[in-house]
A and B are shown apart, each in its own frame.
Chain A
Amino acid sequence: MSDHQLEISNISFKTDNQSILESISFSVEKGERVTITGPSGGGKSTLLKIIGNIINPTDGKVLFHGKNIQETNPLKYRQKVSYFFQNASLFDQTVRDNLSFPYDIRDEEFDEEKAKDMLERVSLSRSCLDKPINELSGGEKQRVALIRNMMYLPEVLLLDEVTSSLDAENKEIIHGILDTLNKENGLTTLSVTHDENEISQADRVITIIDGRLEDSK
């Protein structure tokens, strides 16, 4: 058995009368930056949700370090392979509520300094921590949501068109931190995107058309 970080093996997904994904297989190595692209409605998001264990495939399996994720603790897996939504929504009242949530679920003490450092890394001020979430702009919310996924750095980050609704400046900030985490911490990213820039930055591009994997470039 080879020990890829992630191995997607013969994944299919069907609804009652429609086949969304058909026998998708590929593997991802640690630190790799993989971009999944293709026309809208081709099943890219569904694939990413299956890898994130948000939904189950109808057929096939996802292996993480050689182990079928259906047979391991889904909570531990999701802490290591973290799915990040297209239009992430913040919950509760303040930025603090959101950034302390990853600590709450692990039953650990909230590291306020680290949260402030992270806010700075995405160009938000340290005082933002106690700001009510409804006073943030769309781009600011997306940045807070991103560092929410990174308070405990996952091994793999699944990014579902996370910059599609953002302006150039916000895109740049988000790309910047992802770039650093990839280079310094070996963070693997799997991103669904239409952004030409992101595609050109990728180590590998996977194209999905009508639920099928096209030959990668």
Chain B
Amino acid sequence: MNANLEINNFSLFLSTGLLIIAILIAYKEKLELGYDIFIAGIRAVIQLFIIGYVLSYVIQLDNVLVTLAMVLFIVFNAGFNAHQRSDGIPHSLTISLFSISIGTAVTLVILVVSGAIEWLPSQIVPITGMIASNAMVAIGLTFQSLNSKFADQRQQVLEKLSLGANEKQASMSIIRASVKTGMSPSIDSTKTVGLVSLPGMMSGLIFAGVEPTEAIRYQIVVMFMIIAVTSIASFSASYLAYRQFYNEQKQLTL
């Protein structure tokens, strides 16, 4: 392991040349993206340097509470981002936080109890990041699907209500479709894993010199964990969010 895994400052500086290529293309094609690329580059450098130092500190400290705080920080950020994609669904922050917390908690507990990972900050923090970011994307998709389906199928929902259906009966087809939308990307990417791209976890381990035959074991766990967390998160978010489309008189408020 550790086959000279260091990028010195000079190499890092030269790699900004890659950004300059992108800025030149943006400038030539009048895409007006030059400024965005510049800001994105600066942000990436600052955010990653900060998180790099924070992680080093957390890993060295190896304190249960600090690790837990880091987990909560990640979960909160993911929840807040998912909430911003809800396009005005009431209580979406609470719903996102709850769904991501449940998904993350269940998955982490299973992984730790089964011994797939250990409660070490160097394992818990990156794994939580993967879990929470996948849950975040799944919930964002679920919210989008609920919004668009309630708009598209408004008439059908109204008809079901006028036949005396309750909110759940009137929304069932929409709930199902939205859970499915949230889950599909992780199922699809699991089907093609290894054939198209080598996923991050596995690539990182191979990079660090771990035998590919060992690295894939981690990747298998990661894929299963992502399917689990996206299904828990989409399920929870759909079932909590559909009620927000109705008022206390069980009328559709759209």
A residues contacting B by CB (< 8 A) are 52-56, 70, 74-76, 78-79, 82-85, 88-89, 91-92, 101-102, 104-106, 145, 148-149
The answer to whether A82 and B165 touch (CB under 8 A), given A70-B249, A91-B156, A91-B173, is no
Which residues of chain B are near A74, meaning CB under 8 Å?
Answer: 249-251
Q: Could you say which residues of chain A place their CB within 8 Å of the CB of B251?
A: 53-56, 74
CB-CB under 8 A from A102, the residues of chain B are 163-164
A-B contact count (CB 8 A): 63
Q: How far is the CB of A123 from chain B (nearest CB, A)?
A: 22
Task: For the complex formed, measure the closest distance between the CB of B248 and the CB atoms of chain A, giving whole angstroms.
Answer: 9
Among residues of A, the one whose C-beta sits closest to the C-beta of B165 is A105
CB atoms of B249 and A89 under 8 A apart: no
The answer to whether B161 and A54 touch across the interface, beta carbons within 8 angstroms, is yes
The contact of A76 among B156, B162, B164, by CB within 8 Å, is B164
A-B contact pairs, 29 of them (CB 8 A): A54-B161, A54-B251, A56-B247, A56-B249, A56-B251, A74-B249, A74-B251, A75-B250, A78-B164, A79-B163, A82-B162, A83-B162, A85-B158, A85-B159, A85-B162, A88-B159, A89-B156, A89-B159, A91-B153, A91-B156, A91-B160, A91-B173, A101-B160, A104-B169, A105-B160, A105-B165, A105-B166, A148-B163, A149-B162
Interface contact B163-A101, CB-CB below 8 Å: yes
Tell me the complex Cα distance, A52–B250, Å.
Answer: 12
Does B11 make an interface contact (CB < 8 A)?
Answer: no
B235 to chain A, nearest CB (A): 22
A contact residues around B9 at 8 Å (CB): none
Residue in A52, A74, A85, A104 with the greatest tally of chain B CB atoms within 10 Å: A74
> Whole-angstrom distance from the CB of B153 to the nearest CB of chain A?
8
Residue of A54, A70, A88, A105 near B164 (CB, 8 A) is: A105
What residues on A are CB-neighbors of B247 within 8 Å? 56
A-chain residues with CB within 8 Å of residue B165 when the two chains form the complex: 75, 101, 105
- Check B159 against A91 for contact (C-beta < 8 Å): yes
Kindly provide the distance from the CB of A40 to the nearest chain B CB, expressed in whole angstroms: 20
Which B residues, 151 to 180, have Cβ-Cβ distances below 8 Å to chain A? 153, 155-156, 158-166, 169, 173
Complex contacts, B162 vs chain A, CB 8 Å: 52, 54, 78, 82-85, 149
Taking the closest CB of chain A, its distance from the CB of B181, in whole angstroms, is 19
Q: Which residue of A lies closest to B164 (CB)?
A: A79
How far is A84 from B173 in the complex, measured between Cα atoms in Å? Answer: 21
For the complex formed, measure the closest distance between the CB of A101 and the CB atoms of chain B, giving whole angstroms: 6
Question: With A and B bound together, what is the CA distance between A102 and B164 in angstroms?
Answer: 8
Alpha-carbon gap, A159 to B226, bound state (A): 50
With A78-B164, A83-B162, A91-B173 known, 10 other A-B pairs at CB within 8 A are A70-B249, A74-B250, A76-B164, A78-B162, A82-B162, A82-B163, A85-B162, A88-B159, A89-B156, A149-B163
Residues of B within 8 A of A88 (CB): 159
A34 to B252, CA, bound (A): 27
Please name all residues of chain A whose beta carbon is closer than 8 Å to the beta carbon of B164 when the two chains form the complex.
Answer: 75-76, 78-79, 82, 102, 105-106
Which single residue of chain A is at the shortest CB-CB distance from B154?
A: A89
In Å, the complex CA distance between A53 and B161 comes to 9
A88 to B159, CA, bound (A): 8
A104 to B164, CA, bound (A): 11
